[in-house]
Amino acid sequence: MISDGKFGKYGGIFVPELLIPALEELEAAFIKYKDDKNFNVELDYYLREFAGRPTSLYYARNLSEKLGCKIYLKREDMLHTGAHKINNTLGQGLLAQHMGKKRLIAETGAGQHGIATAVVGALLKMPTEVYMGSEDVIRQKLNVFRMELSNAKVLPVDNGSRTLKDAINEALRNWISNVEDTHYLIGSTMGPHPYPTMVKHFQSIIGRETRKQIMEKEGVNPDVIIACVGGGSNAIGIFSEFIEHDEVELIGVEGGGNGVNSGKTGATLSVGSEGVLHGSLSFVLQDDYGQISEAHCVSAGLDYPGVGPEHAYLKVTGRAKYVAITDKEALHGFKLLSQYEGIIPALESAHAIAYLEKYAEMRENKGKTIIVNLSGRGDKDMFLVAEKMGDEL
């Protein structure tokens, strides 16, 4: 490997020796193609014509008036398949094709990353298999159907808690025995090096567009950027262009579940501790013996007991701040954006909206310019939200 893939002490490559050659091959290809002109012309073409980039930086006038701040929304919800995940699946899919790989595998929790991988598999004519916990296969029937419609094969995983973390383990296992012809397309800034760096690279388009757009609209950097954090890819994507601008406050919002001290939470950085999960050192939710705990959060995208290693680094160095929003508060955020702006956010993004309201209500923050990364749209969450809110509307 050329790099050890560390962010401070976090990250790294904690995998069985059998996987090292595959990770070396992937790192070499990533380094070769990330600045390659033809590769980027092709990727830009698909991002524009297939996925719908650039997304707008939308001034949320009604919410700005209500909260007494200048609020902009980065509209990743407008992308094909409904979220930022397509930025990464297009990037990695194309890279796999350039590497001569014939087959894609992926993990998925709720199915969002599975769908974003499946459509890229269809687009690039690469057979695609998606590992999904059998519990999630039942809970997310409609998304299974969507993946299958785009030719992907969904493989239910019956191990452990039968959810996302078990699906990742199974995908890693399959990759070990098929590295010759297969690319494992990881869906967030997690996993062993080079994934956290590579996924950040493909998601940094969000930050580059945002910086250009805010400069055109305001002529200065925003005061603060707020983004939800599951594995951390949409947050790192928008943070990336601003990390070196110290005056910009960066805030990641985790899924608090029933509350950070309730034992039913997804707030890894808020209440987790250092540990190794899925190939890298970061913060994890674990018991006293180092066994990984189950995460809990109303939104599947934030329901993960780990977090990308760069976020661990940004937290301990103090460059970014991490907060948690409960399920209940997220549902309030979901309603708030829908009612004030006519934009229905994904439940994940609704966590960022809920924190936006808290932030804007602090007296010292009045009048600030705030950018919220609206990572996805809420169509996928309709049934769940209807069930949870009942007559409350």
Instruction: Pick the binder of ligand PLP from 108, 112, 197, 240 (CB under 6 A).
Output: 112
Q: Which of 85, 165, 315, 380 is catalytic?
A: 85
Output 90 or 228, the one with its CB closest to ligand PLP.
228
Query: Residue 228: which of 322, 157, 319, 99 has the closest Cα?
Result: 322
375 is catalytic: yes
CB 347 within 8 A of CB 330: yes
Interactions with ligand PLP, residue window 172-231 (CB under 6 A): 188, 228-231
CA distance 134 to 140: 10
Q: Which of 27, 107, 254, 329 is catalytic?
A: 107
The residue behind tokens 């609020």 is 71
| x/- map, 312-351, ligand PLP, by CB under 6 A | ----------------------------------x-xx--
Give whichever of 179 and 346 is closer to ligand PLP, judged by the CB atom.
346
Among 89, 140, 234, 240, binds ligand PLP (CB under 6 A): 234
From 93, 232, 272, 306, residue interacting with ligand PLP (rule: CB under 6 A): 232
Of 358-377, binders to ligand PLP (CB under 6 A) are 375-376
Q: How far is the CB of 214 from ligand PLP (least distance, A)?
A: 20
Q: Are strands 57-59 and 70-75 parallel, antiparallel or unpaired?
A: antiparallel
Residue from 188, 299, 349, 375 carrying the catalytic annotation: 375
CB of 241 to ligand PLP, least distance (A): 16
Query: What's the sign of the alpha-carbon dihedral 350, 352, 355, 360?
Result: negative
**Within a 13 Å sphere around the CA of 104, how many CA atoms are in the beta-carbon half?**
36
The reply on whether position 233 binds ligand PLP by CB under 6 A is yes
12/6 Cα distance (integer angstroms): 5
Q: How far is the CB of 234 from ligand PLP (least distance, A)?
A: 3
For 372-391, give one letter per residue: b (16+ CB within 10 A) or e: bbbbbbbebbeebbeebeee
Q: Tokens 């976020």 map to which residue?
A: 311
H/E element holding 131? strand 128-133
Q: What is the dihedral of CA 341, 343, 344, 350, to 10 degrees?
A: -70
Instruction: Tell me, yes or no, if 264 is annotated catalytic.
Output: no
Nearer to ligand PLP, 112 or 197 (CB): 112
Q: Is 233 a catalytic residue?
A: no
- Whose Cβ is closer to ligand PLP: residue 179's or residue 309's? 309
Question: Which residues partner with 108 through β-bridges?
Answer: 132
**Which residues are designated catalytic?**
85, 107, 375
Residues engaged in binding ligand PLP (CB under 6 A): 83, 85, 112, 188, 228-234, 301, 346, 348-349, 375-376
